Structure 1
């Protein structure tokens, strides 16, 4: 098995990590639901549907807002533009052709278009106003991570370890960079981050890579994790998190690796801390929030890397990446609960049950509320009543 799911059995009370890839069994027990005295209950503004959603597949299709429209997609190829005020469909298009579209890497809104990747190894461009398919090109590997737009390019990170830049208007390949992919990796890839003429992304061999956007020249690689141990699973390192940038500092984290802060000018580490994660990070400007491989939620000081708090009460509940809404840090779990934490203390402030299909992605922030999407395709706009 060359590629494996980090979280394989969604919705079960016990899960086996990397089952079938090792001789030993590693059973992990999900923490019971914490008892929370909710300080507020969100109000539902509207609800809609995006087909069958992503089901129990890996696909992470977060909605995106652009041009006063909310764009949502399902794994089987249905894409909709919704009015964020009332949830009504403005347009919809079905991208399924001879086979299921298997959308997974998206949605990105840029250049008045939408860009979505797929497990079929395609990148597809749609017109934001009409949903018309502008182009679809093969890139030679699964696109599990969201594309990034910069300098007239659409940059995608494929499962074969190739970072590819496509022309935003035609889909023509401008450049490609390849990195080593070990035999055993996590199911997932790092969404690139582009800033200041550079693009930064995590690799399956445990590194953070940097390249010049306009010509695809690799400029440096920084180890985030070092393979250790006697078995392939023990030696598994992977950087699937999307790097985040605060000022002149870049932050990323690796599975069986570290949380690291890197000075963008020198490419030297500022500090390193021993946290293992395959989830994206979040930041409020002074703190960096991490979901560890055990689903512990941790806040560290962005300047020093000092741990400020840790909440371990959601252990192994298969959490989404964290999202910041107002003064709260929000995560969804595999059993369909949203958990709200105080960003300063890590204490629970609210909890809501939404849907037993669970969450693949966290909420999407709107100007007057937020949108949640469940695995079975329910789309809801909510507001907080405190």
Structure 2
């Protein structure tokens, strides 16, 4: 199964590349206006990363991982190592943590749990995964690329249950959605958000964000891509190159969906949901209705990451290593932050009052507003 999935993922990538026209060049950026003061408070290095290796914050720590196999817990205030471990295996997805146990997934389909800088257990998964594990309630939950959710005991690694849903034959080599909302485990399975009972994996509800469309298998891919935006019981998500929508995760009912062509996840606050389209047009939607609130074109073709809403600004990284801070009210520029010049593919995260990003070359940077 693992080899078959690998071939399918490769086929998807080849098909996408062969059908893509020459990439447009971004418009040069205007001089930075710096309407908001920031201070770089620390930086660290973890090794080359990627979109599936976003930092994760919990209990005053920033958990990071590099492609080559290094996993580390950094002090969120200083950036110094709390612990660092080389697993000896390249890492495909991670990190997920509850503050005590950290979990990652290797490229040879192994789920590895780490506690206090030591490997606790390692188990083989039935298929590849590109989504960081969710560690919660003494368990580790995994969303695999064949659209199944698997639960493991957090102490022993024993498999507790598996929930598989019907799906398209091709898979998307991109992080999906897996989160807890109250006592419900919410997973993105194909183009649906699905609420599961975390105790046994039984389905409580399913709500579509998008349905398969098109005449071939690539066009029918509408998987939910991470990250998602959760405010209370409201969960808003993107279906790959198809739609953005919000659901009531307490009832499992749709609130709204709207056609959208983006391929990265969304974030938001209690009023708005934010994300970028495939061409880099940045868009805000009303969280309650899905109506467009505003949009900007100046970041088009800059290979934007998924955004992070924090306070009065949004943070979004681009392919040249710049973090753009823009106003959440109208998208106007507030400040730009520079890193090591390599792409910021992983979603920025918030650690206390600090903004943290990880670059493709493995630099981890933290800024605090002044």
Going from structure 1 to structure 2, the CA distance change for 1:241 and 1:382 (only over 3 Å counts) comes to: closer
* 1:76 alignment counterpart: 68
Which residue, out of 154, 164, 167, partners 1:168?
Answer: 154
Report the Cα distance in structure 2 between the residues aligned to 1:83 and 1:156, rounded to whole angstroms. 26
Report the Cα distance in structure 1 between the residues aligned to 2:229 and 2:41, rounded to whole angstroms. 31
How many residue pairs get aligned? The number is 363
- TM-score after normalising by structure 2: 0.89
Gaps of at least 5 residues in structure 1 are 9-15
* 1:48 alignment counterpart: 44
* 1:37 alignment counterpart: 33
Report the Cα distance in structure 2 between the residues aligned to 1:68 and 1:200, rounded to whole angstroms. 25
- 8 A contact 1:17–1:26 mirrored in 2: no
- TM-score after normalising by structure 1: 0.86
Report the Cα distance in structure 1 between the residues aligned to 2:276 and 2:251, rounded to whole angstroms. 28
* 1:151 alignment counterpart: 137
Which residue, out of 110, 124, 127, partners 1:141?
Answer: 127
Going from structure 1 to structure 2, the CA distance change for 1:215 and 1:378 (only over 3 Å counts) comes to: same
- 8 A contact 1:59–1:75 mirrored in 2: no
Report the Cα distance in structure 2 between the residues aligned to 1:91 and 1:265, rounded to whole angstroms. 37
How well do the aligned residues superpose, as a CA RMSD in angstroms? 2.4
Structure 1, 26-35 or 208-217: larger mean CA deviation: 26-35
Gaps of at least 5 residues in structure 2 are 1-6
State yes or no: 1:334 paired with 2:319: yes
Going from structure 1 to structure 2, the CA distance change for 1:110 and 1:116 (only over 3 Å counts) comes to: same
* 2:233 alignment counterpart: 248
Residue 362 of structure 1 deviates from its aligned partner by 3.4
* 2:114 alignment counterpart: 126
- 8 A contact 1:33–1:314 mirrored in 2: no
Which residue, out of 164, 187, 209, partners 1:201?
Answer: 187
* 2:8 alignment counterpart: 2
State yes or no: 1:188 paired with 2:174: yes
Q: Secondary structure at the match of 1:186?
A: coil
- 8 A contact 1:175–1:216 mirrored in 2: yes
Report the Cα distance in structure 2 between the residues aligned to 1:341 and 1:379, rounded to whole angstroms. 21
* 2:309 alignment counterpart: 324
Residue 328 of structure 1 deviates from its aligned partner by 0.7
1:293-332 equivalences under 5 Å are 293-332=278-317
Going from structure 1 to structure 2, the CA distance change for 1:299 and 1:4 (only over 3 Å counts) comes to: farther
